[in-house]
Structure formats: C-alpha cells, structure tokens
Structure 1
Amino acid sequence: MTKVRLDETHDPARRSFVEAANQANTDFPIQNLPLGVFSTKSDPVPRIGVAIGDHVLDLKKASGATERLTQPVRDALQETSLNSLFALGRTRLRELRRIAGDMLDQGATGNQVRRHASDLLVSADECTLHLPTKVANYTDFYAGIYHARAAGALLTPENPLPPNYKWVPIAYHGRASSVQVGQGAVRRPLGQRPPAAPGTPPSFGPCERLDFELEMGFYLASGNNLGKPIPIAEASKEIAGFTLLNDWSARDVQRWEMFPLGPFLSKSFGTSVAPWVVMSDALAPFRVAALPRPEGDPRPLDYLFDGEDQVRGGLDVHLEVLLSTAQMRAANTPARRILTSNAKYLYWTPAQMVAHHTINGCNLQAGDLIGTGTISGPSPAELSSMLEFTSAGTKPVVLPNGEQRGFLLDGDEITFRGRCSRDGYVSIGFGSCTGRIAAAEIASLQKQVA
C-alpha cells in the first residue's frame, strides 16, 4: 500500500480567500477540494470543478491562470467527465490538488484566481451537478460484515454468514448505465414479487419493499491491463477518490429472483452517487487500521494481505442517513436522521477489493465505480438499511409526526451524508447523496394490456 502522505495541503492553519470555506461546518474547506462535474444556465456544457466552501472553482477556465499544470492535466481538464483526469493516475491528481489549493489560498495575493474570482468561481447555488465519470463498469461488494450478519440472520438465523465470507471479498457486477447522480428522483421499480403461498404464482407490480443501502463508493484511477492483476501493495494507488453511494434495493423482487445467480432487476433500476469525489490524498489524515479480526478468523490469503494496508487501509468516515417524507416537507419539518454508521466497519479494505477484483486478470478502467457494500455497524442504531433497521418491516421507524416506515413510500426522500474528523486536523465532508422516490411507471404497461 502507498505510504500515507501528510503535507502542507492538510495544514489545519491553512485558509482560503473564499470565506465560506473557513467555516467550521463546511464540507469543503481548502483541505478538501473534491472534484466534480458541473454546468450553469449561462454555460450548459458540463465541465470539471472543485468545491470550495459555497462555490465551485471552474478548473477548465482556471487552468489558463497558471503555468504549473502539465499539458496532460491541462488537456484532461477540458473534458466533460473525470475519466481522462483519473486515467493520469494518483501522482497527477496529487499535483492538481496542490495547485488548486495554492490558487485558493488566502495568502496568494497575486494569484490570478483571486484576481479574477468573479469569472473563475461560481456560486454552488447556480450549479447543476452531473455524474462525475462516464461509468463503464460498476461493481458492488458485500464487505460490511455487520450488514452481512444482520441481513443473513433474517433468512438463515442459524448461519447468517456465507461460509466463504471471511476468506473472499464477495461482490457482483452491477448495472453501470443506471448509475445516477444523487440529486433527483428515483423511480419505484416494477417486477415479480414472491408468491403469497407455496404453489401459487408470483405477483407482478410496483415494488412493495423499496429500500436503501448506505455505502461508500470509490473510482478507479489508471486501472490495469487485461490479464495483469494489481498486487495488494499497489492497489491503493489505483483509487482516485471516494464518494457516497446508495445501492437502492427492491427487497421483495430480490427475494424472489436472487437464487441461484444473485440480484438482477432488484438492483439494476438505480444506483445513486454523491456528485463530489473526495480525492484519496485529502483523506490521508483520516486513515485507520483495517477492522480488527476476532480471534479465530482466518488471516487473509497472501494476495489479499499487506501489512501497511492492515495498519492504514481503513477509513474513519462518519456516515448518517436522513429521511424526509412528503408530509414532513409540506409542514416544513426538517429531515430526520434515522441512523448513523462509519466506514471503519468494513471487513475488507478498498485495497483488498481492488486486488481481489483483478486477481483473475480482470481489467479495471479509469472512472470505473466500486461500491463497498452496506456499511452497518455493531449496534442496532447503526444497521444501515431498512431491511435490517426495521427487521424486514416488522419494527417500523416512528417519525416525530407519527408517521411510520417499514420500507420506503412514494415521496420519501433519503439523504446520505459523510464527514471525517480528527483532532489536529480540519474536518472535511462528502456533500450529500439524495434521492426522492417517484411512483412506479405503470401507465404504459396498462395501455399495452388494454
């Protein structure tokens, strides 16, 4: 694993001339500078930027205000997605983050960005945010052991964990085309639902057990050639940055379809990601040890074991889920936090996921998206899906206005937030990943039947 680097970009004393970036509650101080893709009404072509306080620095325009950028980086910043930039690798991303920080530094009085801030900085309120990369491939892991236990116990309480769980990072290939930026509607899917009784046919219609899954996602940097695995000691170099990820799940459809090949329509209708990508280097102060394995758990096989990754391969990211219903919004009631968790609860590290993904020679590509799996924690308040949190709907969440939810109803809005904090460093955040449930599209089917 790459050694954790701390440098002047993590200096807690550093301040930006963008005043909102110096507020204690901001997700986007100068120590963060996450990458994203945005557009405005006046310039509708998507372009690359970094979030700073309540503004976005237009990197396409700002690239002309410095001579420090290499030509490959300058060229990549003219694109409408982050794929080409990520393909340049972590070293170039580190250089870009340092240069962007210098552009936004409070002390840079002669800085061209500060001098022409009105042209290069855009208010976040004026921005439309887009999917950060053109996702060619999406893989979802099952690396949260507390989720695996809690969800498994609802089906096979006598043996909730699969026998291979502690040996291999389990995953499935997801649907890349339905990955969407977490800022809009999520359509309730249609599908087959389990038979009401043995020997009866399945029913068909809108999903009745719609759920979220609290995950983190990460994007690949330069990737690897077909047939050439990425060694575990090199795997972290291939992670460009991290984001929040909601793996929406149709639980009734999933229950009926998943054996023997796993989920299909129950997952492929939509996956939401936060619009901002927090670069791996920004997270250096918040690295922690991999989740300690209890006595008796097997040591990972050699291709999955790296000493440095065991010491610093985890991430301390505080996560939370907020729920807002249509009735709450009509009454101007703020969203209610229903659970919290932390990325440090993952049984397998992101580097182990990359190493395992490629051990058979599978080629990962720049901009590919990998989900960690649901990140539940050890306490009941940290069970990070409705399936677990409400015991499959039998113990519904009770909201302050008296509404109850076992699973999600139309009009419900789910928001994920993530934040890193550590004594001696400035806290950084991931923004938010939000989706509001829209009713299933059944009119066209009804016309066909008619």
Structure 2
Amino acid sequence: MTSWLTSANAPDCDFPLQNLPYGVFSRTGEQPRCGVAIGDQVLDLAALERDGLVSTGGGPVFPEPALNAFMERGPEIWAKVRARLMDLLRDGGNTILRQNADAFLIPLSDVTLHLPFKVSEYTDFYAGKQHAFNVGTMFRGPENALPPNWLHIPIGYNGRASSVVVSGTDFHRPNGQLKAPDADAPAFGPSRRLDIELEMGAVVGTGNPMGKPVTVAEADRMIFGYVLLNDWSARDIQAWEYQPLGPFQGKAFCTTISPWVVTRAALEPFRTSTPEREKPLLPYLAEPGPMLYDIALEVGLTPAGSGEETVLSRTNYSTMYYSAAQQLAHHTSSGCPMRAGDLLGSGTISGDTPDSYGSLLEMSWGGKTPITLPDGATRSFLKDGDRVTLRGHAAGDGYRIGFGDCTGTVLPALKQD
C-alpha cells in the first residue's frame, strides 16, 4: 500500500501511509492544533475537519491544542478516522485531498511540534525484568535481585504529569538532598548521577468509571497509542529518598516523550507475546493474546560541543515482562479510574547484554565501568550539555513504523538562593 505523497513511500521513512501518527503542531503566529505525520509533511486535521473532509461524529476536536477530545471519542471513531485518512492519502483512493494538497499539507520542517496530549496523570512502571535484575544485583546481590512481589505484580508509582515535556525541551540538572555513604548527614546540591531511562509510554484514550476494574483485553482497547519516553533520573537523589515510599524528587523534574503518538492500529502487525511466566499470574492479569510489540529501540548520546553522536544501546520493546495492557488492567484493579491522556511508562527496557541496557546506571554498572566515547571522553552519568536521543521503529515489509526522535539536553543546575 503506497501513498501519492512520494516522500511517504521511502523504505526508511518513519511516517508511511501505514503509520499516520497523531500530534500537535503550529506555524509561527498560529495556534497549536492536531495533525498527522505523513512522509515529510504534516496533514492539518483541523483544516480537514473544517472543510468536512473528515468527521469524528460530533463537534470539532482537531482545532484543539491536544488530542484528548479526539481520544475520548473512542475506538470506533479512531478506526473510522484512520480509514478515512488512508483513503485520502493512498494511491487510487479519494482524490480530493491530492487535488488540494497545498491547503492541507505543511512541510514538517516548517512547524513546531508540541506536547501531543494533555497528560492527565503519569504512572511509571518497573516492568523490564533484565533492568530490575541488574539494578537489584547492584544493590542486593543476584540471589535477592528481584523483590518478592516482582514476578506476581506490575510494580509502579505515581509520577508527575506536570513535568512531562515534548521532545526538544531542554531541562536543568535537578538539585536535591544527597548523602554520601560515609557522610553523617545529607547535603543539598546538584545531582551528580543524572541518568536516562529508555521506556515506551502507553497513552490511555478512554477511561473507566471509578470502582470498575477492566480486563486485560478491555485495557488493550482503551490504549490509543504509544510514544517513546525518557524518564530522566537523578540516581543519587533517589537513593537517599526512596525508602520507604519509593521515587519522589529523583524522578519529578523531567520526563520527555516523543511528539507523535503511534496508534495501536498502526502497531497491530507487530504484536508479539510476553515471555513465559516464571510464576503463574493471577487470573485478572491473564492475556487473551499477544500484547507486546516488536519495536527496535536505540539510545544516542551527543556530548556538548560535539556534532558526533554515539549510539550507546540497542534493544527491543518485546523484552518486557509485563505489557501495557496488563499494567493498565492492574492499575484499575482497585477501582482506580483512568482518563483520556493518562500516561503509563513501561519501565526501563534492557536487553541481556551491556550494549542493550536502557540506563547509564546499568551500562556503567553503577559507575564502576565508565563508557568510553569515540573522542576518548568517558561517561558514567550525564554531564551538562549532553544531548540524549531515543529512537524506535517497527520494521514491516518495505516500510517502517517510526516514532520520531525523543530528545533532551541537560542544562546546568539552577543556583539556589
């Protein structure tokens, strides 16, 4: 299946006709509104809706500066709009868009991309087994690496929706309480062990009423799509604060997501199963079919003042122990209500070798084996000016479903009065 927009047909294009990810964009002097990436262009959904070329079965939703109103329309409308867009963009389909392309298509190079949806709540999970084993081994030894509940339950914590930002947003190194192992008391200052976490984020499109749990199958249908997610982490702040209630300020300062939400429908051909269970899961977490996706992921680091990026890690989303649908079902199991725009972080995605780990904490093994860059410089954790880029795609037959870059740069810590 090809598009009349030739840039969408290149084998290495992130945004072919089979993808059609949703985002929010603007040009200089214009209000942000919803669009779809296709090839090297943005399709203006607000203009299409205004002119009656696409409908969501109600009042206008695409002039909004967030996807939430569209997501709330539900899976039947998502499918209807996707089918309509494919018909407008494919070779041999409806020709009205092609005849008026200049009125609806804008080069990606001419737009600013914004946070694609209003983040209602943010929950981060700890669902990658290799990552959990690696971190547990560093602090407790391999015999006690996994907590007793880990093989039974998707562990998570409630994070800060207010500090979720779109790719390209730079952020300051966080300050916080730090305590050296040999110190009698903590001190306050900039984090010295600033890290990344390579994750996928699941975007909830429709919610559930308070008090009503959902099954894994129902949870899967509630998910609108997925983004790349970097849950930046201040390991030294976290190490001092996390007992007994877990992460707080060490995770609250910034979480970066990619600007395009790749829909569940676009990822359907790439479904794969979670691994065999080492211990049986309780029935409410049972999966009706494959719930993970075969998505290749990589982490790139560009030091300050350098134009050369080093790829630090390559791994795959399929290594996760718990799927996003299981995480969402578990989230509702107490009766917790979910809403359109809720974001679920997968947890750090690590393979079984150092060049497939999803955090610097693992790659440098807590700083004991620093990473050497091509220019001879080393990294155990991030320095000011470092730019980190996450990338991901699912590979089809002659096409790929890409997410676009997920990038952030570390700025120096702000001085405290």
Amino acid at match of 2:187: S
CA–CA distance in 2 between the matches of 1:213 and 1:67? 41
Contact 2:34/2:64, CA 8 A, preserved across alignment: yes
TM-fit CA distance, 1:425: 5.9
TM-fit CA distance, 1:111: 2.4
What are the within-5 Å matches in structure 2 for residues 13-32 of structure 1? 14-32=1-19
- Mean Cα displacement is larger for which, 92-101 or 63-72? 63-72
Matched, 1:340 2:324: no
Contact 1:28/1:34, CA 8 A, preserved across alignment: yes
Contact 2:193/2:381, CA 8 A, preserved across alignment: yes
Q: 2:293 — aligned with what? A: 315
CA–CA distance in 1 between the matches of 2:259 and 2:54? 27
Q: 1:11 — aligned with what? A: none
Matched, 1:299 2:280: yes
Amino acid at match of 2:347: G
What are the within-5 Å matches in structure 2 for residues 147-226 of structure 1? 147-157=131-141, 158-198=143-183, 200-226=184-210
Q: 2:409 — aligned with what? A: 436
Contact 1:291/1:314, CA 8 A, preserved across alignment: no
- Superposed CA RMSD in Å reads 1.3
Q: Which one of the candidate residues 400, 405, 415 is aligned to 2:374?
A: 400
Task: Output one character per residue of 1:326-356: Cα deviation in whole Å (capped at 9) or x when no partner.
Answer: 1323xxx3x1111011100110111110110
Q: Which one of the candidate residues 21, 40, 61 is aligned to 1:34?
A: 21
- Mean Cα displacement is larger for which, 76-85 or 29-38? 76-85
Contact 2:304/2:386, CA 8 A, preserved across alignment: yes
Structure 2 length-normalised TM: 0.97
What are the within-5 Å matches in structure 2 for residues 281-296 of structure 1? 281-293=265-277
CA–CA distance in 1 between the matches of 2:117 and 2:311? 29
CA–CA distance in 2 between the matches of 1:299 and 1:251? 32
Q: Which one of the candidate residues 325, 329, 336 is aligned to 1:362?
A: 336
Aligned length: 416
CA–CA distance in 2 between the matches of 1:68 and 1:40? 22
Matched, 1:143 2:127: yes
Q: 1:3 — aligned with what? A: none
CA–CA distance in 2 between the matches of 1:98 and 1:160? 47
Amino acid at match of 1:322: G
Contact 2:166/2:256, CA 8 A, preserved across alignment: yes
Structure 1 length-normalised TM: 0.90
TM-fit CA distance, 1:195: 3.1
Contact 1:62/1:120, CA 8 A, preserved across alignment: yes
Identity of aligned residues (%): 44
TM-fit CA distance, 1:67: 4.9
CA–CA distance in 1 between the matches of 2:281 and 2:96? 51
Contact 2:54/2:81, CA 8 A, preserved across alignment: no
Q: Which one of the candidate residues 363, 374, 380 is aligned to 2:354?
A: 380
CA–CA distance in 1 between the matches of 2:52 and 2:64? 18
Moved over 4 A (4+): 65-68
CA–CA distance in 2 between the matches of 1:90 and 1:25? 29
Q: Which one of the candidate residues 72, 87, 93 is aligned to 1:102?
A: 87
SS in 2 for 1:215: strand
TM-fit CA distance, 1:380: 2.0
CA–CA distance in 1 between the matches of 2:233 and 2:336? 26
Q: 1:126 — aligned with what? A: 110
Contact 1:65/1:113, CA 8 A, preserved across alignment: no
Contact 2:10/2:399, CA 8 A, preserved across alignment: no
Contact 1:34/1:278, CA 8 A, preserved across alignment: yes
Task: Output one character per residue of 1:363-411: Cα deviation in whole Å (capped at 9) or x when no partner.
Answer: 0000111100001112221111000011111111111111111100000
Contact 1:285/1:425, CA 8 A, preserved across alignment: no
CA–CA distance in 2 between the matches of 1:64 and 1:104? 18
CA–CA distance in 2 between the matches of 1:68 and 1:203? 57
Structure 1 unaligned residues grouped into runs of 5+: 1-13
Structure 2 unaligned residues grouped into runs of 5+: none
Matched, 1:413 2:387: yes
Q: 1:48 — aligned with what? A: 34
Contact 2:216/2:288, CA 8 A, preserved across alignment: no
CA–CA distance in 1 between the matches of 2:297 and 2:53? 39
CA–CA distance in 2 between the matches of 1:70 and 1:361? 30
SS in 2 for 1:348: coil
Contact 2:48/2:54, CA 8 A, preserved across alignment: no
Task: Output one character per residue of 1:416-442: Cα deviation in whole Å (capped at 9) or x when no partner.
Answer: 0001014x4632111110000000011
TM-fit CA distance, 1:112: 2.5
What are the within-5 Å matches in structure 2 for residues 72-111 of structure 1? 72=58, 75-108=60-93, 111=95
What are the within-5 Å matches in structure 2 for residues 417-428 of structure 1? 417-422=391-396, 424=397, 426-428=399-401
SS in 2 for 1:168: coil
Amino acid at match of 1:272: T
Amino acid at match of 2:97: V
Amino acid at match of 1:397: I
Task: Output one character per residue of 1:183-224: Cα deviation in whole Å (capped at 9) or x when no partner.
Answer: 1212100001113515x1112111000000000001101110
Task: Output one character per residue of 1:153-206: Cα deviation in whole Å (capped at 9) or x when no partner.
Answer: 1110131100000001000000000000021212100001113515x1112111
What are the within-5 Å matches in structure 2 for residues 260-275 of structure 1? 260-275=244-259
Distance 1:196 1:168, change over 3 A: closer
